[in-house]
Structure 1
Amino acid sequence: MAAKHSAGILLFRRTGGADGDIEVLLGHMGGPFWARRDVGAWSVIKGEYEPDEPAQAAARREFREELGLPVPPGELIWLGEAKQPNGKTVTVWALEGDLDPALVVPGTFTMEWPRGSRRLQEFPEIDRAAWPALPEAREKIVSGQRVFLDRLAELLG
């Protein structure tokens, strides 16, 4: 079985504070496993793609699918790849931009829930989006994606 790959966009904005605060757009993972969790339950806006799809095209597609909104205009900044604890390789680009989380209309997925019930239920890919500042984002994001926050912080100085 081939290794899985995900691609995503880490949207960021400068808040204009005296210390040049940076906020990033994260999505809280949807579905029953994440419903009562906060720390370690947030993610870069990303999704899986097939080997024949260019990663950047997949990142743009997944952004639109997960949020129901277009990718804001601007130049994507390569943040690289990171292998996750589950073996998946995640590729991320940063993009300076803004959007209102209240406008998000998330995509959905279907799964059997409760497990073993043979009952299929639909859940949002993400159940909410928010703009935490980098220190808070480091606490909230899944551990395997912290490297992208670190790379962004280094890039922005």
Structure 2
Amino acid sequence: MPQQSAGLIMYRIEKGEPEFFLIHPGGPFWAKKNEGAWSIPKGIADADEEPLATAIREFREETSIIPNGPYQSLGYAKMKSGKTVYAWAFEGKWNPESGIKSNYIDIEWPPRSGKLISIPEADRAEWMSFDKASIMINPGQLPLLKRAYDLLK
């Protein structure tokens, strides 16, 4: 069965236009990747966890920001991998000067080396216009971003 994950798209209105909060994945694989590499904070549900609860927990873990609703459902998008990503939008505040503090995960690096390294799930975050976010976001998540944008028009 394909995996399911859930995430949040935080937005703000700046000079009358929406901006979207995206994160860049941490670790050596993603270090030099930019366009199409950014993501909404998201992750896989714990056992018996509701998708919205997963989205809120993952947002907090990956950014150290405590999200506050109300949350507007954006439905889901299917990724190339077959994974289904559910998402919700909410208006929030974040000062880029404060940065983010992400949780760390262990990965095998280099691949098939048997060596584990600890990396942050996200190494940076940014507010982006819809046009910029459309270029930077993982293409599989673009339908979710478009739905969030359409809610705000």
TM-score, length of structure 1 as denominator length: 0.92
In the alignment, residue 95 of structure 1 is paired with which amino acid? F
> Who is 1:79 aligned against?
74
1:1-157 matched pairs, under 5 angstroms: 2-16=1-15, 20-50=16-46, 52-71=48-67, 73-101=68-96, 102-157=98-153
CA contact (8 A) 2:7 2:58 kept: yes
CA contact (8 A) 1:5 1:50 kept: no
* Counterpart-to-counterpart distance in 2, 1:113 and 1:10: 30
Structure 1, 93-102 or 7-16: larger mean CA deviation: 93-102
* Counterpart-to-counterpart distance in 2, 1:94 and 1:88: 20
* Counterpart-to-counterpart distance in 2, 1:48 and 1:79: 17
Structure 1, 137-146 or 27-36: larger mean CA deviation: 27-36
In the alignment, residue 14 of structure 2 is paired with which amino acid? T
Aligned-pair CA distance for 1:69: 2.3
Q: Secondary structure at the match of 1:91?
A: strand
In the alignment, residue 83 of structure 2 is paired with which amino acid? K
Gaps of 5+ in 2: none
Gaps of 5+ in 1: none
Give aligned pairs, total: 152
Aligned-pair CA distance for 1:40: 0.6
Aligned-pair CA distance for 1:76: 0.4
CA contact (8 A) 2:42 2:59 kept: yes
* Counterpart-to-counterpart distance in 2, 1:11 and 1:108: 22
Q: Secondary structure at the match of 2:110?
A: coil
Q: Secondary structure at the match of 2:52?
A: helix
Segments of 4+ moved more than 6 angstroms? none
TM-score, length of structure 2 as denominator length: 0.94
* Counterpart-to-counterpart distance in 1, 2:69 and 2:4: 24
Aligned-pair CA distance for 1:51: 5.8
CA contact (8 A) 1:109 1:123 kept: yes
* Counterpart-to-counterpart distance in 2, 1:50 and 1:128: 25
CA contact (8 A) 2:79 2:85 kept: yes
